[in-house]
Amino acid sequence: MLGALAKLMKTASFPAHGGETLARFRAELEKYDDLPSELNSDDDPDVGLGVLFALSSLVRHGKLPPEFKFEVKEDAKPAEASSRRAGPVSAEFAPRHPVIGITKPSNGDTLSWMAMAFAVRLAGGKPVKITSRAPRDPHSIDGLLFGGGADVFPERYQGEVKQGYSYDQARDDMETSWAKAALEHEIPVLGVCRGMQMLNVFAGGTLHHDLSAFEGAASPETFFKRIFYRKPIRITPGSRLDRASTRDKECVNSIHTQAIARLGKGFKITAREPNSLVQAIEHEQAPFMMGVQFHPEYLIYRKFARNIFKDLVETARWRAAMRAHEAAR
């Protein structure tokens, strides 16, 4: 499986240092010989088929199956993704690979960044890093992906600061600035884990500093075991997340240690766990501002997770086309 992963990374055009990350990944996995197998999970039966499908195509043909590549039709328009400004837009203005800015810490989180970037590439986008040291120009970005990472600084929502915890306040400031720009300029945004929490705090919401308020919410203690851990969520019918799935119940991973308490202004809840923990939100006015508590970038062998990134990229493509069309008038 690790050999196929190496080929997968090469197929996705990852830089040369990806081999170093793969070696570290291999060494880390060897520490956990009791990890549950994704190929025979009773709780998530689609997993085995998805993984085998992708690996079989790589072994036999040296490339990903077409279902994973998301070849976008030039005249395609994402559902409910258009701007409030009316008027037809010619396909000639749509970029082939819209630029998706992915926020991350200035240092570290290499595996998470690579997983996010890979998911964006599969969906047809061009991933670029956004950090507090390299914040980028909003005009150079077609879509945003707020990634995971350290807890949001509690004083932003009148929470309690953890003694000895290393917060990334520079990143908090940077993402707050981007969230404001996204609302003002209708930039599509997907928040993942901490990213969803950041969107909620930006909108005036609050967070539970741990998961003790939720029955059965505790997940494995180590990062890699959390990636393989699964728990059920129920999705609100008619929501954007619902359009990514073919059913109202999905099984997702659990890497987070905090959760939404009070919902931020303008957002609605679109998925919960059985214990009521919030697993997804979306903005009621913005064309695309959605957050998920789980990590879809670690579930890209499943169509449900790939559709989340596809929705973001296609919405970003449509927005970029509208901007180019208006500039050409």
Long-range contacts of 218-222 (CB under 8 A, 24+ apart): 219/254, 219/255, 222/32
Give the tokens for residue 210: 């741990």
In a domain, 207, yes or no: yes
Give the number of domains in the chain.
2
Within a domain: 154: yes
Pair 61, 176 in one domain: no
Task: Choose the final residue of a domain: 47, 66, 85.
Answer: 66
Q: Are 211 and 261 in contact (CB under 8 A)?
A: no
- Do 134 and 16 belong to one domain? no
Lowest-pLDDT range of 53-67, 78-92, 119-133, 200-214: 78-92
Give me the CATH number covering residue 151.
3.40.50.880
List residues bridging with 268 in a β-sheet: 282
30, 115: one domain: no
Instruction: Give the domain range for residue 30.
Output: 2-66
pLDDT digits (tens, 9 = 90+) for 66-98: 555 544 444 444 444 444 443 455 556 677 799
Examine the domain organization and report whether 35 and 160 are in the same domain: no
6 and 138 in a single domain? The answer is no
Q: What is the pTM of this model?
A: 0.76
Q: What is the pLDDT of residues 260-315, one digit of tens each?
A: 999 999 999 999 999 999 999 999 999 999 999 999 999 988 999 999 999 999 99
Dihedral sign (CA 22, 221, 306, 126): negative
**CA-to-CA dists, residue 42 to 10, 34, 38, 46, 54, angstroms:** 31, 16, 9, 9, 20
CA angle 155, 186, 169 (to 5 degrees): 20
**CB contact burial 138-177 (16+ within 10 A = b; e otherwise):** beebbbbbbbbbbbbbbebbebeeeeeeebbeebbebbbe
- Nearest 5°: the CA angle 210, 229, 306 is 100
